[in-house]
Structure 1
Amino acid sequence: MSDSGIGDFEFERKFFVRDMPAVAASDPSPVLIAQAYLFASDGYAVRVRLQGPAPADLDREVSDLVTALGDDAIGTMTAKGPAAGGTRYEAERELDPLVAGQIVTRAAHVVLKIRSSVWLGEDGWVIDRFLGGNAPLVLTEVERDGPVVDLAIPSFCTTEVSEDDRFRNEYLAHHPFGGWAEAYGRELDLIGPRFVDSLGQNQFEGT
C-alpha cells in the first residue's frame, strides 16, 4: 500500500532478472513471502499474504513453510485494481497472521518467494527469488510515493516487465513461470530488452 497520502495507490516499476544479483546478499534479513490469490480477473485481484524471516530450509511444503514463519509473521489482505502507467490501485489491510496462514495453506493458487531489500542510489529496491513452480524466476521492483520517473536502472535488470501482465503475481499463481520459462527465454532473445520510455528519462548504470 502506498504511503503517499493520496489514497490507496502504489507506484512501482518491475524488471526481469536473468541471474540473481550479488547485491541481494547484502540484505542480512531476507523474508519469505507466501501469498494466496483468492480472486484474479481482468487485472483485479484479492490477495492474502503471510510473510516473516526466511527459514534456512526452504525445501518444504507450503504448510510447513507457513508454520516455520512462527510468531514473527505478518498477515495482510489486499485488493488490487488494473495497472496503468506504473500506477495501480492497492488497498492493503492487516490480517491476523494465524488466519492468513490458514487461508494460504488451504488456497489452490499460491506464490512463494524470498525477498531481499537493498538500497541503490536514491531508491530502495526489492529482489524476489521465486520458489516452487515459479522457479527460477527472479524479479526486481522499485516503488516510490509517486510515479517512478527518471529512474536509474541497475545493470542486473535484463528487461522491464512493468506492463507485462504475465509477471503479475496473480498470473504467476495460476500459470507458474516454470512452465513457460524456456518459451520466454526464446522470446526475449528474439525481441531483446525493452524499457518503458514514457516515465521521464531512464538512466542506465554504466552508461
Structure 2
Amino acid sequence: MHDKRGRDRSNVEIPFRNGYIESISRYGPVKAHPGMPFAGGRYLEMIMRQEIERKFLVTGSGYRNGASCKTYRQGYIVADTHRVIRVRTDGSKGYLTIKGPSRGASRTEYEYEIPLPDAEDLLERMCIKPLIEKVRYTLVHDGMTWEVDEFTGVNQGLCIAEIELEQEDQRFSLPPWVGREVTADPRYYNAYLAKHPYNTWEHKD
C-alpha cells in the first residue's frame, strides 16, 4: 500500500517475541509493547519518563569547548499550560513527544521515534509557526550532562542551558558560563517561544 506521496506504507507484523510486537516497514523495524498505540499501520516505540529539568540563562561561550552539537527543528501541534504535543527532527530522526503539566521542575513525558519524512510533514502542515530552530551543545561538567541551546531564526540571541536531574532536590555545581535560573519562568520554554518568539519581546534579560 502506498500513500499520496508514493511512499510504501505496507507492513508485515511478526508475532510476539520476548513480550514485544515487531513490525516491519520501509522505514525499518520498530518495536512496541502489546496494546501500544500505532500510526499509519506502524507500531511506535515509546519511552515514558518523569522529566526533571532545571533551566538557566547562559552568560559566556565556554560551553562550546569540547562539546558535541546537533541542529534541531521543532514545532508544536498543541502548546498550552496543561499539555504539549511536540514534533522534532535532528537531521536524521524524527520524534513525537507528549508532555503533561509542569509541577515545579518535573513533568511527565512520552516520546516516540517516528519516520523522518512523517516528522517533516507534521512540522510543515500541522505545527504552530514559526518553528523553533536551534543548535544544541552537549557536554559534561563535574560529572553531570548539560545541554545548551543556541536559538536561531526568530529566536536568535537567546541561549539557554538545561540540566536533567534524577530528583528535584539533587545537588549539582554550576559551570562558570551559567547565569540566572529561569526554570520557573514560562517565557523560556520552547512551547511559549513558538507563540511568542524572542525577537518580539519588549524586555529581554
Report matched runs for 1:1-207 at 5 Å. 8-19=49-60, 21-27=61-67, 29-52=68-91, 73-106=92-125, 107-109=127-129, 110-147=131-168, 149-180=170-201, 183-185=203-205
Distance in 2 between residues matched to 1:25 and 1:179, nearest whole Å: 31
C-alpha contact 1:86 1:148 (8 A) present in aligned 2: no
1:144, distance to aligned residue in structure 2 (A)? 2.7
Greater radius of gyration (CA): 2
Q: Which runs of 5+ in 1 are unaligned?
A: 1-6, 53-72, 186-207
Identity of aligned residues (%): 31
Q: Deviations over 1:157-197 (max 9, x none)?
A: 211011111111100011001111x5133xxxxxxxxxxxx
Aligned-residue CA RMSD (Å): 1.8
Structure 1 residues 93 and 9, CA gap change in structure 2 (3 angstroms) = same
Deviations 1:71-98 (A, max 9, x none): xx11110111121221111111111111
Runs of 4+ aligned residues of structure 1 deviating over 4 Å after TM superposition are: none
Shift of 1:105: 2.8
SS at match of 1:83: coil
What's the TM-score once normalised by structure 2's chain length? Answer: 0.71
Output the TM-score relative to the length of structure 1: 0.70
Q: Given that residues 12 and 148 in structure 1 are in contact (C-alpha distance below 8 angstroms), is that contact kept between their aligned partners in structure 2?
A: no
Structure of greater relative contact order (alpha carbons < 8 Å, 6+ residues apart): 1
How many Å apart are 1:25 and its aligned residue? 3.6
For 2:153 and 2:65, the matched residues in 1 are separated by: 21
One-letter code of the match for 2:152? Answer: L
- Structure 1 residues 139 and 43, CA, compared in 2 at 3 Å: closer, same or farther? farther
Which residue in the other structure is 2:4 paired with? none
Matches of 2:184 and 2:82, distance apart in 1: 11
Matched residue, 2:21 = none
Aligned length in residues: 157
Matches of 2:196 and 2:146 in 1, distance apart?
25
Unaligned runs of 5+ in 2: 1-47
Determine the C-alpha separation between the residues in 2 that align with 1:105 and 1:113: 17
More strand by share: 2
SS at structure 1 position matched to 2:178: coil
Q: Tell me, yes or no, if the aligned pair for 2:63 and 2:177 is still in contact at 8 Å.
A: no
